[in-house]
Chain A
């Protein structure tokens, strides 16, 4: 049962990733691209964790923690660049 639920979640998050790519390609402005990229990072974290459950190893948690941190920092850096013109003042 868990396996089927895992496959369902994989399908959901993969479709989410595809929709994010669609939004990045056809976005009205740069802010929407940042938002779509941020959502993509979160979806990717979910997919990595599902893969970890499927494989039965705990090694992927470090990976997802690092990706979560990088995703947050890069989104903030992008927004800051738009707001102020540079990142570290």
Chain B
């Protein structure tokens, strides 16, 4: 039983470490900011999630100290990762991407970050 637990926890730790490393490696490997965004949002989040689940299992099985804190941190990271990525993408497009480099949506309105339409035309009330 303990051996199986050890194997599972070690496997989780090794996989998480590999993905964490790959996430940071992608950050220096890719040559374009939008591409670089892909690596940390996905790989690093799974990396840290794997570490947290491994630590939860370790504390529950070997130290008999059941704790659900890690679930909270993992959920927090998984929820905030897309929001962070979206914010960074918007900041990047605001600084470095011209609107004519993007495909245009059908309809009258352009993309929200570039469009100059007033608030009345927006179906989602942001006030």
Taking Cβ atoms with an 8 Å cutoff, the residues of A that contact B are 1-2, 4-6, 8-13, 15-17, 19-20, 22-23, 28-32, 34-36, 38-39, 42-43, 45-46, 49-50, 52-53, 56, 58, 61-62, 64-65, 68-69, 72, 75-76, 78-80, 82-83
B20:A72 contact, CB within 8 angstroms: no
B interface, how many residues as a size bin? 35 or more
12 contacts between A and B (CB under 8 A): A8-B14, A12-B18, A16-B20, A16-B25, A19-B25, A31-B95, A35-B33, A42-B40, A42-B48, A58-B59, A61-B69, A83-B94
**Those of B44-96 within 8 Å (CB) of chain A:** 44-45, 47-48, 51-52, 54-55, 58-59, 63, 65, 67, 69-70, 72-73, 76-77, 80, 83-84, 87-88, 90-92, 94-96
B51:A20 contact, CB within 8 angstroms: no
CB of A12 to closest CB in B, whole Å: 4
Chain B residues lying within 8 Å of A56, measured Cβ to Cβ, are 63
The main secondary structure of chain B at its interface with chain A is: helix
CB of A44 to closest CB in B, whole Å: 10
Taking Cβ atoms with an 8 Å cutoff, the residues of B that contact A are 6-7, 9-11, 13-14, 16-18, 20-21, 23-25, 27-28, 33, 36-37, 40, 44-45, 47-48, 51-52, 54-55, 58-59, 63, 65, 67, 69-70, 72-73, 76-77, 80, 83-84, 87-88, 90-92, 94-96
**Contacts A35-B88, A79-B91, A83-B94 hold; do A29 and B76 have CB atoms under 8 A apart?**
no
A38:B17 contact, CB within 8 angstroms: no
